[in-house]
Amino acid sequence: MSNNKTLAQMNTDIEEARQKANFSINSMLNMLRGGEEAVKKLNDLRQLAENEPIFSKAETPFQSRQEQLYHSLLISKRMIELIEEKNMDDEQFANLFRHIELLTPAQGTTEQSDKWYTAAKRHAIIGCYAQTELGHGSNVLGLNTVAVYDQKSDEFVVHSPDITAAKWWIGGLGVACTHAVVQAQLIINDKSHGPHLFIVPVRSPFDLKPCRGITVGDIGPKAYGGFATTDNGFALFDHVRIPRDNMLMKFAHLSKEGKYTPPIHMKLSYGSMVKLRVDIVTDAAWKLGKAVTIATRYCTVRRQFHNPPSFKFDNNRPEAQVISYSSVQHRLMPLLSTAYALIISGEAMYTKFNTLMEQLEVNNATMLPEVHATSCALKSWSTRRSTDGMEECRKAMGGHGYSIFSGVSELFATFVPSNTYEGDNFVLAQQVARFLLKQLQNVVQGKEVTSTTAEYLNTLAEGTTNPYEFQNPNEEILDPNVQLKIFSMRSARLVADLGQQLQSGREWSDLNMECWSVNLAHAEYLILKDMICKVDTMRATPEQAELADTMKTISDLFCLSTLGYSSLATFLSTSTIHPSDLSRLNEQYRATIAKVADNAVALTDSFGFTDHELNTALGKKDGRAYEHLWDAVQKNPINHGEENEKLTKLVLNILHSGNNLEYVKASKL
């Protein structure tokens, strides 16, 4: 097979695409990954992991869920051994276990953190975060699990009144966890003080049997076969007693005498969810980046038909690369720009979150509402766009994209539930809308909007409802100031319209889709603003200045694809742009698509994914998709051994039933 010219051409195609890059791939990689030193540390960890045979995913597609779960525990065991063997520090520990959702920010006092974190780090206990219930997910205030304070015994009684209060979907709880950080309603003297966090032992670390009063187990397989290696579980509490000190008391406090001191902000106990949403934005970026990398590489080496079409077969003329078709470029290139945009926006979100954490340490919660709203908007937008984008990548790859060996289906299956966990996206959209409506009141009262993320509402003071007036749409749309102005106008008008509809008497429950539109527009404004700021920063940074033009093109494509395609409806419905300008804007969009497409392979290489990370046969770096797909299929146990014999016997039983053999002989089939 290695002498086949089609197979040899695939490697040539991918290498030629790399050589077309007009920027340094290595420099872009360093910028995206946090610098040269960060890349080195990442590569060291990768090398460590990829040298371990047990981390191979080659057999995973052929394993049952039970086998995958068992194998994942073996991997966890080996990771723990590596931490001890290599004497890893906390940063290396976190990177190696990045797929585990750690409880940050810590809700415990220093003494509590020392006690529980040290035990968890030693793996003397295994923890999980138990918030979602069978009957409640996004509505945290409606959780039914209670923790009733018994002053006589200085204990809490944790109880599930019925099965609707059973903790559900809790990662790690199904098989492995010994302790859970449980969100429960704090009850003192028959009065509820809302959800608080409590550490509850669920299994004995000695024999892993359930603790008294606790029913615990695994909830079963998930949609699309996703999260097969995660033991999402349930737990039901029957008057389980825990010490008062098991309530995490960094922000709220309860004395032995029953005196309750509330936090400075009632939503501080949601801090871990805010952190998880920040993590999800970055995760969405890199997972979409993986899907786009696979699809771009495969579409670069896959050749089908002639372009332009020809009904005459010419064996001497190579068929066209799939990536050369405009339909493929228009589907993949905006997704490439979206992955870059989310990496940049996720980075900016981390900066805001870290500043918030510093302020909370000195009891300053000023930033909390804004960071909460921003994390809600970006989480809901990034998960929706990322998972939709993964599926689009799969479809762009044609028939082979449906094979599990493409690597894209696994990405989709494991990330698509992010649309509902850590807050259902449509519920989060309502929280974003409420935040913006509060900011809108400043405009109504003739005041300046103080929120930096909602400052665009100040444009409403201009009092105009006319479309943006372009002198030359084709050129002006590349001006960052014009881009932000247009996105500002659209977002502000959607918020104003929502406010007017509420004022006219429409019920909030009847405005969910309007909230969704506001949420998407707000997120897109924030992401574009982050991209523009990043380009400016890069121009002013000597080691990144050479990349600024490339990043500007990516930013332009994000703007143009959002404006002209994915969110066109709201730009038109708010009269932000005039329909007559669309054709000129589309000209620039097509020109920008072409620029990004020329650099597509190099831009995906800049993500820095290894073949091991991508776990794909079709999108490996060398471009030899057909050969790798062939090799992957040969590992299928159905094709040999006991599994083959078992199936063969059953098929022969069907073939040889009745007088079928005589019929075959007589018919000379």
Which tens digit of pLDDT belongs to each residue from 389-416?
999 999 999 999 999 999 999 999 999 9
pLDDT band at residue 159 using 50, 70 and 90 as cut-offs: very high
pLDDT-wise least confident of 201-205, 247-251, 300-304, 522-526: 247-251
Binding-site residues for FAD, please? 132, 171
Question: β-pairing, 179-188 with 127-130?
Answer: parallel
d(CA 413, CA 223) in angstroms, rounded, equals 7
101, 155, 422, 514: the active-site residue: 422
Assess whether pLDDT exceeds 70 at residue 314.
Answer: no
pLDDT-wise least confident of 285-299, 453-467, 546-560: 453-467
pLDDT at residue 332, as a whole number: 98
pLDDT at residue 528, as a whole number: 98
Query: What number is the average pLDDT over the span 561-574?
Result: 96
pLDDT at residue 107, as a whole number: 45
Q: Who's near 252: CB < 8 A, 6+ residues apart?
A: 186, 193, 196, 260, 261, 262, 263, 268, 269
pLDDT at residue 228, as a whole number: 79
pLDDT at residue 234, as a whole number: 95
Question: β-pairing, 253-254 with 260-261?
Answer: antiparallel
pLDDT at residue 362, as a whole number: 81
Judge whether 144 and 135 are in contact, CB under 8 Å: yes
Backbone angles phi, psi at 122, to 5 degrees: -75, -10
Single-letter amino acid code for the residue at 423 = G
pLDDT in tens, 476-522: 999 999 999 999 999 999 999 999 999 999 999 999 999 999 999 99
pLDDT band at residue 152 using 50, 70 and 90 as cut-offs: very high
pLDDT in tens, 264-290: 766 665 556 788 899 999 999 999 999
Judge whether 234 and 260 are in contact, CB under 8 Å: no
pLDDT at residue 42, as a whole number: 87
d(CA 53, CA 75) in angstroms, rounded, equals 10
pLDDT at residue 365, as a whole number: 82
Single-letter amino acid code for the residue at 318 = P
Assess whether pLDDT exceeds 80 at residue 124.
Answer: yes
Q: Whose CA is closest to 150, among 258, 38, 9?
A: 258
Structure tokens at 354: 């870290």
Instruction: Count Cβ atoms below 10 Å from residue 51 Cβ, excluding itself.
Output: 8
Give, for 567, the enclosing helix (H) or strand (E): none
d(CA 318, CA 300) in angstroms, rounded, equals 13
Side-chain half-sphere exposure of 101, counting CA atoms within 13 A: 23
Give, in degrees to the nearest 5, the angle at Cα 277 between 336 and 294. Answer: 25
Backbone angles phi, psi at 109, to 5 degrees: -70, 175
Assess whether pLDDT exceeds 70 at residue 9.
Answer: yes
Q: Which spans in 547-624 are helix H? A: 548-561, 568-573, 582-598, 600-605, 611-614
Long-range contacts of 455-463 (CB under 8 A, 24+ apart): 456/487, 456/488, 456/489, 456/491, 456/492, 456/525, 457/492, 457/495, 459/485, 459/488, 459/489, 459/492, 460/492, 460/493, 460/496
pLDDT at residue 66, as a whole number: 84
CA dist list (Å): 290 to 99, 302, 565, 590: 16, 18, 23, 24
Judge whether 32 and 651 are in contact, CB under 8 Å: no
pLDDT in tens, 462-485: 888 999 999 999 999 999 999 999
Residue 422 annotated among the catalytic residues of the structure: yes
Assess whether pLDDT exceeds 80 at residue 208.
Answer: yes
Q: Whose CA is closest to 635, among 54, 61, 218, 44?
A: 61
Backbone angles phi, psi at 404, to 5 degrees: -60, -25
pLDDT in tens, 411-433: 999 999 999 988 899 999 999 99
Assess whether pLDDT exceeds 60 at residue 105.
Answer: no
Structure tokens at 112: 């509590």
Q: What is the DSSP letter of 405?
A: G
Query: What number is the average pLDDT over the span 632-639?
Result: 89
Query: What number is the average pLDDT over the span 125-150?
Result: 90
pLDDT band at residue 623 using 50, 70 and 90 as cut-offs: very high
pLDDT in tens, 32-83: 999 999 999 888 888 887 888 888 888 888 888 888 888 888 877 887 788 7
Binding-site residues, please? 132, 171
Q: Percentage of the chain surpassing pLDDT 70?
A: 94
pLDDT band at residue 527 using 50, 70 and 90 as cut-offs: very high
Q: What is the pTM of this model?
A: 0.89
Assess whether pLDDT exceeds 90 at residue 606.
Answer: yes
pLDDT band at residue 99 using 50, 70 and 90 as cut-offs: very low
Assess whether pLDDT exceeds 80 at residue 311.
Answer: no
pLDDT at residue 104, as a whole number: 35
Assess whether pLDDT exceeds 90 at residue 348.
Answer: yes
Instruction: Count Cβ atoms below 10 Å from residue 247 Cβ, excluding itself.
Output: 22
pLDDT at residue 1, as a whole number: 44
pLDDT band at residue 113 using 50, 70 and 90 as cut-offs: low
